[in-house]
Structure formats: C-alpha cells, structure tokens
Structure 1
Amino acid sequence: MHVGIIGVGLMGHGIARNVLLKGGYSLSFLDHPGNQPTEEILGLGASACASPAEVAAKSDVVILCVTGSPQIEAIVTGSEGVASALKPGAVVVDCSTALPETTLRMAEIIVKAGGDYIDAPMTRTAKHAHEGTLNLLVGGAATALEKVSPVLASFTEKVDHVGPLSHGHRLKLLHNYVSVGFMTLLAEAAAQAADADIDPQVFVNVLAQGGGASVALERLAPYIVEQDREGLPFFVSNALKDIDYYRGMCDASGARKTVADGISEALKAPVEAGQGEAYVPELVQLFRKGEMA
C-alpha cells in the first residue's frame, strides 16, 4: 500500500517517519508551510505533493493529522480536496481532533467518492509519535480498520476500536477534557503555590504522595520544578480548541458543562493575551499573580 499524509506537524512528522522506517511503506505528503522540517522524511524516500488531491490520487491510505474541523473540511471537500481524486477503495484515517459531526459529514462524502473513512484520534504526546508508540481511538467499520491495521501498526503501540464512526472523536474529546482540565487545574494550583513562595519540589512531592498523583502531575512537574516545558509540546491555543470542541459536543447533546466552561475561560485569558503558542506547562507561569494583568 502507498500511504499519504496531510499534516506533518509535531505529531504528523512522527507518524510519517515511522510509516517509512518501521512500516517500510512508500509515502507522499502535502507540502505545506505548517509542516515541521521535512528533510528527514524526504531523505527516507517520501515525496512532496502540491495539493490534497495529488496526495489522494497516489494513496491507498490517506492519514489526516491537522488542527481541527475547519481544516479537515477544507482538505476533504476543497476544489483540489481529497474527495476529488480519491482512489477507489482507499481509506481516509482521520487522526486529528475534530467534532463528531464533522466526522460523519466527511465520511459521507468520502463514501460517495468510493472510499472508506475512520476517525482515529491520537492519545499520548509528540515524543510518542516520534518513537512510533502512539495510541489510537478508532471509530468506524471493522472492515476498514482491518484494511489499514498494518499501516497503523507502524506508528502505534495500541489501537482500540471504540465503536461506530465518530466515537473515536467523541472519546478523544472526553479524554482531552479530563486531561487538559486536570492540567489547567494543576497549573493554577502551582501558580498559587509559587506566589506563596512554596518550594516547588515540596509542592510536587506532596501531590505525588497523595490525591494529586496523576499523569497531569508527571507532565507538568518538570516545568513546576525546573521550568522545562519540553515534556508536553502542546499549544495552549490547541488546548482551548479541544475544550471548546468538547463544550460544543455537550451543547449538541444537552449535557452539563459547568466545569468545562470554567476551564475554557481559564485558557482563553492567555490566548487573548497573545500567549496561545505557549506550551501547556507554561500555564504555571502565565497563571501567576499579575502575569496577565
């Protein structure tokens, strides 16, 4: 199978290198200003394409790894979009974080174009993407998943088939609500501790030995103690986007979202202050007294 990828960012670059290195597949990618440097994957034999249609025309599997629903819709439905040139029987694998209704609409378009569509959002970090040990939450037909499983195996540690189409994205939004919510709460607490001149290592130790022990603490602790943000290279603006997607999903179903509204407000402040490209661990500093006054 020939693999195409659209979105060679922090996560997509890791996917691309492992499709080539571990999977041994031929790979085409969309040449785009938002890509990470592509010298490595070009050196491994990948080829650049000028449009999503060109990627689709070459590929049996098309992986989407972009920011969110507007980008997915443009990539699939544009005048030179994936649907306009899809190979018969090709499978589109949406690894982005998107609204469930987007998944259902795009799948309908891809099926009419003669292909299949699964939503397969990622959990874990850019480090895991680079190592080829991502986890995927897959929604869609088992037959479509089976067809692309060898490709997915090249960049994942675990692939969970979580239900029908759109359930991957529903669970990713639930996952990110909990994960980003925990980290936002923790960052606010760490900021208050710093304002009170509490030793940051003591703060981390107290939480780790009690009810604050969590993956959120593990990911933020390097910044709390040593101002090392690299353990979680995830933009605050993307965290806000994911929380607001979760809130939109709640609105569509009539679900309660009181806490989610509060998290959104907390994240909106640094974004509106021009700090949207800060990494999530840096919220510890951004939430400090007077920082965003």
Structure 2
Amino acid sequence: MGREDSGAAAAARPPGAWRDNARPGQHDQRRRQPVSQRIGLIGVGLMGHGIASNLLKHGHALAVLEHAGNQPLDALQAAGAATQRSARALAAGSEVVILCVTGSPQVEAVLQGADGVLAGLRAGTVVIDCSTAIPRSTERMAQAVHAAGGRFLDAPMTRTPKEAAEGRLNLLVGGDAALFDACRPLLACFAENITHVGPVGAGHRMKLLHNYVSLGFIALLSEAAACAQRGGVAAEAFVEVLAKGGGGSVALERLKPYLLHRDASSLRFAMSNAQKDLSYYHTMAADSGAVAGIADAVLRTYTQGVA
C-alpha cells in the first residue's frame, strides 16, 4: 500500500477518524492530520452558522440545506460550502449529517419527510442531532435512522452564538460509546467541552435538565431584580450583594450587563425558544413521573413573557 489510504481503508474509517501520513519512525515528530469528512448540515441559524464555519476551518467538505431561516450564507460559500435544495440530496452526499434545528417537530420533519434525510441516507452514515428535542421523540428518530442503515447520536449544545463562532460549544452526547469515541474528533472541531452522558436520548435529557435550571435561575433573578427596582434598591447594590453571596452564578453574570447598563447583547436566546425548551422539560418530567411544581411556575413565567 502506498502513502495514501486505499479505498477500502478510507471506507472503513469511522467519522472523525485520523489519517496518519507519517513514515515509520516519524510518529513522534509529525502531528496527525484530521481526515476530511463530507458533512451535511441542516439548520444554519445563529448556532449552526458557527458550527459550519468551524467545520470548514478544519478542512471538512461541507454542504448546507437551503432554507429561509438560515443566516446569510455568503461567508460560508466563500469558504467553500456547497448548498443543497433537499435534505434527501444532502444526505445522499454526506458521511455525517448534523441537525441544528428548532425542536422535535422540525427534527421529525427533516428526517422523515418525503424528501427528507432518511430517503437519501446511505448505509453507515451518522446522523448527529444538535437540536433540543423531547427524549422520547429522539429515541424514535434514532430507531428510524438505524432502520434506514444509519447511526445516531444526540448531541445538543449549550453556550451562545459567540462560543459557536469560536468553536467553544459544550456538547452533551447520547449514544453508543464506541460511536461517540469515533465521532469525537469531528465534534471537537466546534466544541470545547464534550461529555458522553449515556445512551441515545440521554443527551437531550441532560440538555433539558440544564436549560430548566439555567432558565429557572434567570426567571428567579429577573423577578427579584424587578422587585428590587420597585423597592428603590440600586442595581449596583443588588448585583454586588448577590455576586458576593448565594446569588453568584453564570446566570447573574449573563444578566449583569442588562441590570447595570441595559445592555442586552448577551441575551440572545429568544423567549420563544426558552418557552419551548421549558415545555419540553415539562413533557419529560411528566413522562418520568417527576415532581414539577417549580417547573410549572417557571414555564408559566416564560409563557406570559411570550404572550
């Protein structure tokens, strides 16, 4: 065999694997180069755009699905991204398909639609769902992907569009441990902290738990801040006392620019998405028989905010 991989070796290589081009004896001197994968991305919104940019920076061949909800694609196309008009065509040309859409209805539609991903899925293709979804839906979609000959990971993300652009997302991954290990180098192209949290569906369960706690903190702090303002407590004092006491948190740091200066630039998570995620948490809690009294109140707060 020559220095380049044979066709059989390339076909057998798992997603995110590494090609070692070093001659014998050079393994300690030369850095291994990542294999370029053919990636299809569905959902180029605020988060998906950052994911796409970083996949291109790491040398992957990227195609994205054309959609009215995408962020502008000019910069991605200038960097080499191709576009496809159907999810079926996108899947047919991809080794890995990444979903970054709003929620379970969108995931189900883009996978199972007449011109969807499953209609074009090739045997062995990996579907990685970075959306936020209801776990029982995730488990059904994973079964559908497997039935079509593919493999599946749920890998929802935390952090903001800023970290997405910087390639510093957190990923909470559910799925087969061996597949997770194989895909980890690919995920590391756009994520800083990558945690395998369990089998299929566990990633989305952990994401909903995370967002419930995070959004619950935000709701509690916002309500307290409004009460403080009505009572004449200075915003500076409110923030300082909480930060130095039991109220210090990531949520407070995120709210602080707005509380002190009415700077909302760090608050880019839409209220409608927050309400959606909390409704998903409520569904998950009901499915598992968990107590959700506080969750009811938090969901009601965000529902009123969206109304």
Shared fold (TM-score, shorter chain, > 0.5): yes
Report if aligned partners of 1:61, 1:148 keep a CA contact under 8 Å in 2: no
Give the aligned partner of residue 121 of structure 2.
Answer: 86
Shift of 1:153: 1.0
Give the greater-gyration-radius structure (CA): 2
Aligned residue runs from structure 1 range 201-220, under 5 A: 201-220=236-255
Shift of 1:51: 1.2
Q: Secondary structure at the residue paired with 1:162?
A: strand
Q: Name the CA distance, whole Å, in 2 between partners of 1:55 and 1:220.
A: 39
Report if aligned partners of 1:8, 1:36 keep a CA contact under 8 Å in 2: yes
Q: Name the CA distance, whole Å, in 2 between partners of 1:25 and 1:198.
A: 53
Give the aligned partner of residue 177 of structure 2.
Answer: 142
Which AA in structure 1 matches 2:50? Answer: G
Shift of 1:146: 2.5
Q: Secondary structure at the residue paired with 1:111?
A: helix
Shift of 1:176: 0.5
Q: 51, 59, 72: which is aligned to 1:15?
A: 51
Q: Secondary structure at the residue paired with 2:171?
A: strand
Cα deviation 1:213-253 (Å, max 9, x = unaligned): 00000001011111111113100111111111001001111
Q: Name the CA distance, whole Å, in 1 between partners of 2:254 and 2:194.
A: 23
* 1:257 is the counterpart of 2:288: no
* 1:244 is the counterpart of 2:274: no
Give the aligned partner of residue 106 of structure 1.
Answer: 141
Report if aligned partners of 1:174, 1:246 keep a CA contact under 8 Å in 2: yes
Shift of 1:195: 2.2
* TM-score normalised by structure 1 residue count: 0.91
Q: Name the CA distance, whole Å, in 1 between partners of 2:254 and 2:210.
A: 16
* 1:64 is the counterpart of 2:99: yes
Q: Secondary structure at the residue paired with 1:218?
A: helix
Give the aligned partner of residue 260 of structure 2.
Answer: 225
* 1:186 is the counterpart of 2:221: yes
Q: 86, 90, 97: which is aligned to 1:55?
A: 90
Q: Secondary structure at the residue paired with 1:63?
A: strand
Q: Name the CA distance, whole Å, in 1 between partners of 2:111 and 2:216.
A: 31
Q: Name the CA distance, whole Å, in 2 between partners of 1:151 and 1:31.
A: 23
* 1:2 is the counterpart of 2:2: no
Which AA in structure 2 matches 1:187? Answer: S
Give the aligned partner of residue 35 of structure 1.
Answer: 70
* 1:131 is the counterpart of 2:166: yes
Report if aligned partners of 1:133, 1:157 keep a CA contact under 8 Å in 2: yes
After TM superposition, which residue ranges in structure 1, 4 or more long, deviate above 3 angstroms?
none
Q: Name the CA distance, whole Å, in 2 between partners of 1:149 and 1:61.
A: 13
Which AA in structure 2 matches 1:95? Answer: C
RMSD: 0.9
Q: Which runs of 5 or more residues in structure 2 are unaligned? A: 1-36
Q: Name the CA distance, whole Å, in 2 between partners of 1:19 and 1:232.
A: 26
Which AA in structure 2 matches 1:182? Answer: F
How many residues are aligned here? 271
* TM-score normalised by structure 2 residue count: 0.87
Q: Which runs of 5 or more residues in structure 1 are unaligned? A: 273-293
Greater fraction of residues in helix: 1
Q: Secondary structure at the residue paired with 2:255?
A: helix
Q: Name the CA distance, whole Å, in 1 between partners of 2:59 and 2:237.
A: 47
Report if aligned partners of 1:138, 1:168 keep a CA contact under 8 Å in 2: yes
